[in-house]
Structure 1
Amino acid sequence: MTGNLYRGQAGLPFSSTLRVYEPLEAFPEEQRPAIQAAGARAASRAAVENAELLASLGRITRSGGDPFPTGRTDLVRVTTAHAQETGAPDGETADDGADAGTGPVLLYCPSQLVLRAGLAANALMEGIHGPLAELLIPEEQRDRHQERIDLVKARDGSSRVHTRASTWGIPFSWFSLFMESDRKEVVEAAGRILTVRVWAPITDALERARYAVANLALAAPDLDMLDDLAQLTEWLELFHVDSMVELDYGAVADKVYPDESPMDIRLGIECLAEGDMTGAAAAYRRLASRWIPIRQLARAS
């Protein structure tokens, strides 16, 4: 399955994601059976990734020209965390029956493709390619998808989106949430790195983001990254305190891993806070040399 996943991504833009996984209790009670069942159906993480990729390619090529997902087959990713990672008290029993004090706790991240597709379409319409987007996605299709979004919001009672995506590189602000010591997984096949995934407890991720915001606000208030970090902090604050945050590099990992970007971001912020402009510039040069070539691929012919 991992081989199929890599071949399916060949020729597509590098896509990386930032996800929040929540305990079952964080979801509305009426949603929990469906989320738990969808998570149980996921034979493996590779199977989920492959199914989502195939579904997206199918939407692009299906008849009728409607590229939007219907939400009928929304996928759910599952990860595990131990009590010391989520902060659950010893001896507490999770909703899935696991002893949160001694064993792994299951955490869930629904794909929410209907909501995310709507947000992506709006961003496209408001961007510099708006006129082209209007030709590619006619108003009738956008209106039809807005009806799906309204149904999802009415059913779920919440518009929290658990996933953020980025193409052709990872936003530097995302790296501020992680440290080198965080749990990670390197997925390889046929001599290539398919992806690297890094996890951090949401409490740790929020503490790191707030530290970065506080220091950048004093040392570099005009830096674009400060606004990105502020928005990221507000987003993370929407989720359950026992959640986990996952950075999924995607296929770009094969170009950059081993990656020291989290360390470079942390050192750069520390140098700015201490007034060490030379050290901050050196950290930025390391980041730029690693990621600017990736971003330039977006404009390569």
Structure 2
Amino acid sequence: MKFPYVSYLRVFEPLDVFDDDQQLLIMSQRGRGRDVTENLDRGDSLRRITRTVSDPFPHTSEDLIRVLHYPTADGITAPRYCPNQLAVRSTLAAESLSSSLRDPLLGLLVPEAARDAQQSRLDPDNFVESLAKLHTRSSTWGIPFGWFVLFREDDHTERVETDHTLQTVRLAAPVPQCIDRARYAAASLAVAAPGLDLLEELTELIEWLETFTADAVVELDYGRVAELVYPDESPSDVHAGIESLADGDMTGAAAAYRRLAGRWIKIRQLARAS
């Protein structure tokens, strides 16, 4: 089965940030390789969407934990952790779907009985806590340009290949650095192009990142879309476009946007073709 191209923006935090129950869960999974975790997540997703009765929600209570081994300035690798929070994210996705679709299509994709059962499985306190600090954002059929503002091409990069096929590329940078980059870009756009949607997107990203500890690390996981665009110059093109706008160089800004649009419009067209 061919899955849609989904990319992720994740925040990984140190162990001591999490509560006791989460720490126990992390300790039970911290030795598992990232590739094994990704396979478990994909396998679980496939089982949910191929159920005899339509029900896209997870039924198990144990969450998956991703581990990022991020190198510090002194060269020592320190682990950080990102809970999958699948129950909360799937609930939010269903709510988003219900606002854009109407019955009977909504009922076919997410039956009311399945939604009611999911609500009964959720712990209200845990749901509110996870909602206030959601560690993962996802994007299908393309990466939002605002995400690229958070990274530079010389940031920590991991290429994941299987049998010479590129599975994904992951960029990672500390949260404070990402916030500074987003703030600088937002300040530049507020003066040069206050009407751009990118400014609103960056403001939302900054508010989200500010909910995490200063020791956290942000990861951009391209997912399988990496095989279509990598090596990718999108981070430098986004920064070049913003700098050009700040300098009043409309020609340079237009050129940067053309490079971005030409690279990603092909991906977004796949969504309409599938």
Same-fold status (TM-score > 0.5): yes
Structure 2 distance, partners of 1:185, 1:81, is 11
Structure 2, unmatched stretches of 5+, are none
Matched, 1:136 2:109: yes
Q: What residue in structure 2 maps to residue 73 of structure 1?
A: 62
The counterpart of 1:257, out of the listed 208, 230, 237, is 230
What is the CA-CA distance between 1:152 and the residue it aligns to?
6.0
Moved more, 101-110 or 251-260: 101-110
Q: After TM superposition, where is structure 1 displaced by more than 6 Å over at least 4 residues in a row? A: none
The counterpart of 1:32, out of the listed 23, 35, 40, is 23
Structure 2 distance, partners of 1:11, 1:76, is 24
What is the CA-CA distance between 1:230 and the residue it aligns to?
1.1
Q: What residue in structure 2 maps to residue 166 of structure 1?
A: 139
Equivalences, count:
272
Matched, 1:242 2:233: no
The counterpart of 1:183, out of the listed 156, 165, 180, is 156
The counterpart of 1:58, out of the listed 47, 50, 55, is 47
Counterparts in 2 of 1:21 and 1:126: CA distance versus 1, 3 Å: same
Counterparts in 2 of 1:215 and 1:33: CA distance versus 1, 3 Å: same
Structure 2 distance, partners of 1:295, 1:226, is 22
Q: What residue in structure 1 maps to residue 246 of structure 2?
A: 273
What is the CA-CA distance between 1:155 and the residue it aligns to?
7.7
Residue pair 1:31, 1:156 contacting (<8 A) in 2 also: no
The counterpart of 2:13, out of the listed 19, 22, 35, is 22
Structure 2 distance, partners of 1:71, 1:153, is 18
- Counterpart residue type for residue 63 of structure 2: D
The counterpart of 1:103, out of the listed 69, 76, 87, is 76
What is the CA-CA distance between 1:71 and the residue it aligns to?
4.1
Counterparts in 2 of 1:204 and 1:284: CA distance versus 1, 3 Å: same
Q: 1:220-235 maps to which residues of 2 (within 5 A)?
A: 220-235=193-208
Structure 1 distance, partners of 2:128, 2:94, is 21
Question: How large is the Cα RMSD of the aligned pairs?
Answer: 1.8
Counterparts in 2 of 1:270 and 1:71: CA distance versus 1, 3 Å: farther
TM-score computed with the length of structure 2 as normaliser: 0.93
SS at match of 2:231: coil
Counterparts in 2 of 1:152 and 1:80: CA distance versus 1, 3 Å: farther
- Counterpart residue type for residue 80 of structure 1: H
Structure 2 distance, partners of 1:103, 1:152, is 39
TM-score computed with the length of structure 1 as normaliser: 0.85
Structure 2 distance, partners of 1:163, 1:184, is 19
